[in-house]
Amino acid sequence: MPQESTVTGLPLTVLAEDEQLFRDSVLEFADQRIRPLVRDMDEHAKVPRSLLDELFDLGVMGIEIPEAFGGAGASFFHSVLAVEALSQVDPAIGVLVDVHNTLVINALIRWGSDDVKRRFLPALSARTVGAYALSEAGSGSDAFALTTRAVERDGGFALNGQKLWITNGNEADLFIVFANVNPDAGYRGITAFLVERGAAGFTVGKKEDKLGIRASSTCELLFEDCVVPRDCVLGEVGKGYKVAIETLNEGRIGIGAQMIGLTQGALDHAVRYTRERKQFGKAIADFQAVQFQLAQAATELEAARLLVYNAARLRDARRPFLNEAAMCKLFSSQVAERVTSLAVQLYGGYGYVKDYPVEKLFRDAKIGQIYEGTSNMQLQTIAKHMLS
Catalytic residue ranges: 372
Evaluate whether 52 touches 112 at the Cβ level (below 8 Å).
no
- Residue 253 CA to residue 264 CA, distance in Å, equals 17
Compute CA distances 294 → 233, 300, 349, 362, 385, whole Å: 50, 10, 19, 16, 33
Measure the CA angle with vertex 384, ends 381 and 388; round to 5°.
145
Amino acid 369 reads Q
Tell me how far apart the terminal alpha carbons of the chain are, to the nearest angstrom.
39
**Are β-strands 174-180 and 130-133 bridged in parallel, bridged antiparallel, or unpaired?**
parallel
- What is the rounded CA–CA span in Å between residue 229 and residue 331? 41
